[in-house]
Amino acid sequence: MREQLEEIRRRALAELGDGAVEAAIENVRVRVLGRTGELTEIMRAMRTVPNAERPALGRLVNEIKSELEGRIATLSDALKRAAMEHALGAAQIDVTLPGMHIPRGWLHPVTLSRERMLEIFAAMGFEVVETQDVEDDFHNFGALNFPADHPAREMQDTFFLPGGLLLRTHTSNGQIRVMEQRRPPLAIVCPGNCYRRDELSVRASPMFSQIEGFMVDRAGAITMGHLKGVISEFLRAFFGQGIGVRFRASFFPFTEPSAEVDISCLLCAGAGCRVCKQSGWTEILGSGMIHPNVLRAVGYDPAEYQGFAFGMGVERTSLLKLGVDDLRLFFENDLRFLGQFRSASEAAS
């Protein structure tokens, strides 16, 4: 039995060598020290051993047991420590690694243009007022002197909403909203989104933005001359001092007289090219003296007050300024396109 015990010890210690893996250790623990393990079996067989030999054999069993237990504990500790060191090592911060790139945004070219436009008007003393996108017929059409049967009110142009509401088709509702609330003198610019039932194409979009501007004061104080002065000043500040500006008689229900404003073609500088259809000019905005009916609609007496108004598309104006040839580029949000205006955005911020 003594030899048997020595054999158990020798085998177990061989298996519990320095490189022993967890499974091997567990294997020895169960096989040798377990409840039905080899040492337990020996203890059970002790009955058959002569009395005189029993104490010495018992001691040997205990000695082997604690030796193996000690060895198992040592090995398990080492394994645990190694596992922890491994985990800590993996989580260690390597300060020499390149940092994580966190992309930083920049302003959209249309936003940049809008801000530049508003800045120019602000420098001329205009106040910026935002008005609502969801309107009623009165503020978008009626008060602006649109006849009841005007085609712009029809389904193909206007997005109608339930409850007699609609999405504004222009920022001219801003004139009505502001004048209803306030009395002259007024010098206001209203930026905002507008909506029309147009397909998205090279030159049109169902959603776009405009800047409306108007100036109202005592009759005689604000004339067509002021309109020409403010608009020319704005266009030269925005497009460059050398730009040609032309006022052309036109028609809008809410202005009388009305004028469309052209700038000399930015591409050919007025010589005539494909973009300006050989005319040398590009249309840029609508304007005019506010119609007496519009003043009446907001409770102003046209004999007492007079003013001018203008409105222009922000995308269209940006497009000309930036030399972009397709309006859709402004709405697609392709970073390869938008990224080209990044330095302009950074310079502005």
Measured distance CA(46)–CA(59) in Å, rounded: 12
- For ligand PHE, which residue of 109, 191, 192, 286 counts as binding (CB under 6 A)? 286
- In the block, which residue shows the tokens 């060895």? 71
Least distance from C-beta 213 to ligand PHE, angstroms? 8
Query: Per CB under 6 A, which region of 11-19, 31-39, 158-166, 283-291 contacts ligand PHE?
Result: 283-291
Query: Per CB under 6 A, which region of 218-226, 228-236, 306-314, 335-343 contacts ligand PHE?
Result: 306-314
Dihedrals φ, ψ of 218, to 5°?
-55, 145
Binding mask 241-280 for ligand PHE (x = CB under 6 A): -----------x--x-------------------------
Least distance from C-beta 272 to ligand PHE, angstroms? 26
As to burial, measured by CB atoms within 10 angstroms (0-12 exposed, 13-18 middle, 19+ buried), residue 313 is buried
Q: Tell whether residue 184 is a contact of ligand PHE (CB under 6 A).
A: no
Measured distance CA(211)–CA(289) in Å, rounded: 17
Q: Where are the beta strands (DSSP E) in the chain?
A: 127-128, 134-136, 160-161, 165-167, 186-195, 207-218, 245-252, 255-264, 281-290, 305-313
Give the pairing of strands 160-161 and 245-252.
Answer: unpaired
- In the block, which residue shows the tokens 């102003």? 300
Number of chain residues interacting with ligand PHE (CB under 6 A)? 11
Question: What is the DSSP-derived secondary structure letter of residue 99?
Answer: P
Least distance from C-beta 106 to ligand PHE, angstroms? 29
Q: What is the DSSP string of 159-184?
A: -EEGGGEEE-SSTTHHHHHHHHH--S
Q: Which is nearer to ligand PHE, 80 or 248 (CB)?
A: 248
Q: Which is nearer to ligand PHE, 234 or 310 (CB)?
A: 310
The tokens describing 158, both together, are 């206007």
- For ligand PHE, which residue of 287, 306, 317, 318 counts as binding (CB under 6 A)? 287
Dihedrals φ, ψ of 36, to 5°?
-115, 25
- For ligand PHE, which residue of 109, 184, 307, 311 counts as binding (CB under 6 A)? 311
Least distance from C-beta 286 to ligand PHE, angstroms? 3
Least distance from C-beta 301 to ligand PHE, angstroms? 21
Q: By beta-carbon distance, which residue lies closest to ligand PHE?
A: 311
Query: Per CB under 6 A, which region of 113-121, 180-188, 308-316, 326-334 contacts ligand PHE?
Result: 308-316
As to burial, measured by CB atoms within 10 angstroms (0-12 exposed, 13-18 middle, 19+ buried), residue 224 is middle
Least distance from C-beta 259 to ligand PHE, angstroms? 8
List Cβ neighbours of 124 (8 Å cut-off, separation of 6 or more).
187, 230, 233, 234
Least distance from C-beta 192 to ligand PHE, angstroms? 11
Q: What is the DSSP string of 327-338?
A: TTHHHH--HHHH
Measured distance CA(34)–CA(53) in Å, rounded: 24
- In the block, which residue shows the tokens 């500040």? 237
- For ligand PHE, which residue of 208, 281, 310, 330 counts as binding (CB under 6 A)? 310
Helix residue ranges, H only, 141-261: 173-181, 224-239
Q: Which is nearer to ligand PHE, 113 or 287 (CB)?
A: 287
Tell which positions 93-112 bind ligand PHE, by CB under 6 A: none
Tell which positions 8-27 bind ligand PHE, by CB under 6 A: none
Query: Per CB under 6 A, which region of 14-22, 28-36, 117-125, 309-317 contacts ligand PHE?
Result: 309-317
Binding mask 162-181 for ligand PHE (x = CB under 6 A): --------x-x---------
Instruction: Give the residues lining the site for ligand PHE (CB under 6 A).
Output: 170, 172, 212, 252, 255, 286-288, 309-311
